[in-house]
Each structure stands twice: as structure tokens, then as C-alpha cells.
């Protein structure tokens, strides 16, 4: 009987890591990697930084070349979307109507950028999630001197604002929260970031976008009306005391714009998963082993799984987690299939073939953000903290440290300007949540060590 394939849905960092781990783990049967984009798997974090800035070209973002992928012997389906999954039979449906049953499925479809109604019909209004979207925005930023309004002052919005200022553009950063990146790092660190952006000439505004103003299309362009301004509901306000609202407009509801980036968050790419056996509330719900159902696993931005250390379901949109979870999902899927005695043994493996067992996925979350010459690095959970203690260690050198707590325990730490040895020490402290005062003392000792 022909062995059914394992299918990895999502040619992303998580999907590629899963495919490689499947081969390393002994899967010698058919292996299908499905990607909605036409590109080979590539790295996403540089899209809003090095690629947008022009320092890197697309080839440098590739995670693997065609030659490097060849040993995996993949049935590679790029430019193809999965449109359905029958959980009971593990049958995938693709956008061309093809259906095939699988021995197992790993879902790594990531997230899609959120947008605003009608924005896709206006020239000059962009989102930034894919390589093609990043290249389109980079082309519009070439040459300098444009007025860019960034809607959304989270991580992506702040990173793009920084790049655009370095390229010489006028930048207005608008958010519904007064403090940039407050949801991710808290108001204390966010206030320091706000000061950095103001010092670089970014205008900060607080408000909700009410719509866009447009002008007739350029006859030589796409035929779509082009954006000329962003409207804010109720006029909006300067985001902090002493910040001009831009161009002498005060509390005006109109922000002139040649370009607009919508950086208003993302949504997990689960709309194609309609089987009632799956819970797709805020991503694909999984157990501690990254399993959403028997033989169905998830990894990366799309997965919301039971973190065994933190004791609650979590979903991370962080690059390191994507790779680590892709490998974990592959390992656990193989262990499940091995238990069912369906894994084709590697040729010549014999009695030396490794035994398989499922293991809970319990990473120490990590993320970073580069803005100007400031690099933020965080371990653990920084979002949703009920206690934050931020300390500026050296303002001139932009060295800072923040500790994040939840329910009396320290669960996250963020730093900027610290040497690698101290960063590793911070990770060790936060790997397991500790009582607040104990963690505070250990963090102090780790940073005092020089």
C-alpha cells in the first residue's frame, strides 16, 4: 500500500522547520509543503527593517535555496492555498480542487495583516506582511521626501516609522493607545520609545482612523484613487505633552499623507479550517504537544497551545518561536505515528532507529525589535503583565531593563544595551516564573556583575 504523505501547510519559517525536522526524525514517506505565496520560504522580520531600508535584497531573506531544499525530496506546492481539512480522515483540499488524504498534517499558515474597509482600493495605502507587500512599500519610499502616516503604533508600526525617518521621510505615527508598543512592553518602556521617536522627528498622534481622503487617479498609475490624507475620529490628539500635531494642524482630524501603512495587527490564518472538530478561536487551539486533533498539529504564529510552564494557552507571533515550534510539532507528530506503527523506517535504520516519544512544548519566549540604533530584546511574557518595573541604567547609552510580573510572579524581562552574557543570565532567571522579589534580586545580581 502506498504511504500517505505528511502535509505541512505553510511554507513559512515554522513550516520549513517542521519539514526539515520530519526528515531528520526518520520520515521517508512522501512529504508535501504547501505555500500560498509563490516564493521559497523566507525570513519575515527583515521585511520591516533591512529589506524596507534597502540594505538587503530579497535573495538574502531566503531561508533555503532550491539546492538546499533538494535533499528533503519535497512535493513543493508554492502559490497554492489549502481551502479545507477534514479532521477525521486527515484529507486536505487545495484551491484547485485537489484532495488527498494524509498520514499527518502540520498547520503553519501564520497570520494575515488586518486592514480597513476599502483600503485595498486606494493607491498608496499599504499593509506589510509578505515579501511582495514589503517590496511595494519600499518602491514607494524610494527617493525620500514623502509624507508617511503609519496607522498602528505596535512593534511593526514603530519599526517602519524608524526606517522611514532614516530614509528622510516625514512620518506621523498614529495609535489608539497613547504610548507606542504599550501592549507589548508596557507604558514605562513605551514612554522611552516615544521619546526616541520624537527625538528623531516622528510626530506621534493618538486616535482612531475614520477614513481616508483621496484624489483622482494618476492616468499613468493603477487607475485607483490615490490617498491624500488620513482622517481621525473626533480629531485625534497629540500622543504626549509638548508634541506638535504636525504641520501646525493642532487637533485637526486630517493628516496629510502621500503614503499610508496600516500596521493595525493581524489575524490568524484559520479561515480555511471549518471542521467543527477544531477550535479556531484566536488561532488554532492545541494541547501542550501542539496537537489540535489526532494527527493534526500546528506551529508558529497560528498556533495557540497550552504552555506547560505558564499554565494557560498562549499564541506567540515571534520568529524564534516559529522555528522551535515547527520542530516540536514535527517531533511529536512522528512520535504519534510511530506509536501507531505507520512511520516508514529509514533505509538501513534497523534496530538503531531512535525511539519516539511526545514531549510538551515549553519554550522560553523571546522577541526582539530594532528601531534606529536601539535593539530591544525580551524573554518570557511581557504582554498582559499586572506589574512592571522599568529602570534606565544609562540614558546616554540607551541601556534599560524592565521586569514584568503576573499574579505575584516574575514572568518576563526586557533589556536594551546589555552585553550578551548579561542577556543570557536574564533568560536563565526568567525561564521559570519566580516570586517577584526573588526574581528582582537575581536580575539585580545578574546586571551588577558587569
Q: Are residues 94 and 29 in the same domain?
A: yes
**What pLDDT shows up at residue 241?**
38
Q: Are residues 130 and 258 in the same domain?
A: yes
Q: For residue 170, what are the contacts with CB-CB under 8 A and spacing of at least 6?
A: 145, 146, 147, 148, 201, 203
**What pLDDT shows up at residue 247?**
34
Exposure string of 19-44, with b = 16+ CB inside 10 Å and e = fewer, is bbbbbebbbebbbbbbbbbeebbbbb
Query: What secondary structure letter does DSSP report for 154?
Result: S
**What pLDDT shows up at residue 170?**
97
Residues lower than pLDDT 70 in the chain: 1-2, 218-222, 235, 239-252, 341-355, 449-450
The H or E element that residue 160 is part of is: helix 155-166
**What pLDDT shows up at residue 140?**
95
Q: Are residues 183 and 313 in the same domain?
A: no
Q: Are residues 103 and 129 in the same domain?
A: no
Q: Are residues 206 and 340 in the same domain?
A: no
Q: Give the distance from CA 94 to its chain's centroid.
A: 25
Query: What secondary structure letter does DSSP report for 223?
Result: S
Q: Are residues 416 and 341 in the same domain?
A: no
Q: What gap in Å lies between CA 18 and CA 329, rounded to an integer?
A: 7
Domain count, the chain: 3
**What pLDDT shows up at residue 219?**
62
**What pLDDT shows up at residue 279?**
98
pLDDT in tens, 123-161: 999 999 999 999 999 999 998 789 999 999 999 999 999
- Whole domain around residue 157: which residue ranges? 119-262
At residue 422, the 3 state secondary structure works out as: helix
Pairing label, strands 226-232, 209-215 = antiparallel
Pairing label, strands 284-286, 312-314 = unpaired
Q: Are residues 128 and 233 in the same domain?
A: yes
CATH number at residue 173: 3.50.50.60
Q: Are residues 304 and 438 in the same domain?
A: no
pLDDT in tens, 246-287: 333 344 489 999 999 999 999 999 999 999 999 999 999 999
Q: Are residues 255 and 287 in the same domain?
A: no
Query: What secondary structure letter does DSSP report for 317?
Result: -
Q: For residue 41, what are the contacts with CB-CB under 8 A and spacing of at least 6?
A: 11, 12, 13, 15, 16, 35, 62, 63, 64
Q: Are residues 97 and 13 in the same domain?
A: yes
Q: Are residues 32 and 19 in the same domain?
A: yes
pLDDT in tens, 51-94: 999 999 999 999 999 999 999 999 999 999 999 999 999 999 99
**What pLDDT shows up at residue 398?**
82
Amino acid at each position: 500500500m502506498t504511504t500517505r504523505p505528511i502535509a505541512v501547510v505553510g511554507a513559512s519559517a515554522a513550516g520549513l522547520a517542521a519539514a526539515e525536522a520530519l526528515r531528520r526524525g526518520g520520515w521517508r514517506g512522501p512529504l508535501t509543503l504547501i505555500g500560498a505565496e509563490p516564493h521559497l520560504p523566507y525570513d519575515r522580520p527583515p521585511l520591516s527593517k533591512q529589506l524596507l531600508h534597502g540594505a538587503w535584497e530579497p535573495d538574502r531573506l531566503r531561508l533555503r535555496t532550491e539546492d538546499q531544499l533538494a535533499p528533503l525530496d519535497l512535493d513543493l506546492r508554492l502559490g497554492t492555498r489549502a481551502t479545507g481539512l477534514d479532521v477525521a480522515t486527515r484529507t486536505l483540499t487545495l484551491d484547485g480542487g485537489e484532495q488527498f488524504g494524509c498520514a499527518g498534517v502540520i498547520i503553519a499558515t501564520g497570520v494575515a495583516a488586518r486592514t480597513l474597509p476599502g483600503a485595498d482600493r486606494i493607491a498608496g495605502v499599504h499593509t506589510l506582511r509578505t515579501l511582495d507587500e514589503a517590496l511595494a512599500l519600499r518602491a514607494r519610499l524610494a527617493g525620500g521626501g514623502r509624507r508617511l502616516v503609519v496607522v498602528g503604533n505596535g512593534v511593526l508600526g514603530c519599526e517602519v516609522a524608524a526606517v522611514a525617518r532614516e530614509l528622510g521621510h516625514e512620518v506621523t505615527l498614529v495609535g489608539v493607545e497613547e504610548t507606542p508598543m504599550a501592549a507589548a512592553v508596557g507604558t514605562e518602556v513605551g514612554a522611552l520609545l516615544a521619546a526616541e521617536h520624537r527625538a528623531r522627528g516622528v510626530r506621534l498622534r493618538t486616535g482612531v482612523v475614520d477614513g481616508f481622503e483621496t484624489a483622482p487617479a494618476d492616468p499613468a498609475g493603477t487607475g485607483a484613487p490615490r490617498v491624500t490624507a488620513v482622517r481621525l475620529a473626533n480629531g485625534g490628539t497629540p500622543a504626549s505633552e509638548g508634541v506638535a500635531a504636525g504641520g501646525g494642524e493642532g487637533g485637526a482630524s486630517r493628516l496629510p499623507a502621500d503614503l499610508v501603512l496600516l500596521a493595525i495587527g493581524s489575524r490568524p490564518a484559520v479561515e480555511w479550517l471549518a471542521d467543527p472538530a477544531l477550535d479556531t478561536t484566536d488561532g488554532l487551539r492545541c494541547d501542550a504537544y501542539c496537537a489540535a486533533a489526532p494527527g493534526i498539529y500546528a506551529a508558529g504564529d497560528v498556533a495557540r497551545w497550552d504552555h506547560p510552564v505558564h499554565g494557560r494557552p498562549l499564541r506567540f507571533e515571534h520568529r524564534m518561536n516559529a522555528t522551535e515550534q515547527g520542530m516540536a510539532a514535527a517531533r511529536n507528530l512522528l512520535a504519534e505515528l510511530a506509536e501507531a506503527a505507520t512511520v516508514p523506517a529509514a533505509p538501513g535504520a534497523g534496530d538503531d532507529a531512535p525511539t519516539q516519544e511526545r514531549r510538551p512544548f515549553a519554550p522560553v519566549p523571546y522577541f526582539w525589535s530594532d528601531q534606529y540604533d536601539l535593539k530591544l530584546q525580551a524573554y518570557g511574557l511581557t504582554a498582559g503583565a499586572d506589574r512592571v518595573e522599568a529602570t534606565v541604567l544609562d540614558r546616554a547609552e540607551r541601556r534599560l531593563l524592565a521586569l514584568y510580573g503576573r499574579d505575584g510572579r516574575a514572568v518576563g524581562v526586557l533589556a536594551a544595551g546589555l552585553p550578551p552574557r548579561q542577556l543570557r543570565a536574564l533568560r536563565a532567571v526568567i525561564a521559570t516564573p519566580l516570586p517577584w522579589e526573588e526574581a528582582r534580586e537575581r536580575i539585580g545580581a545578574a546586571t551588577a556583575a558587569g
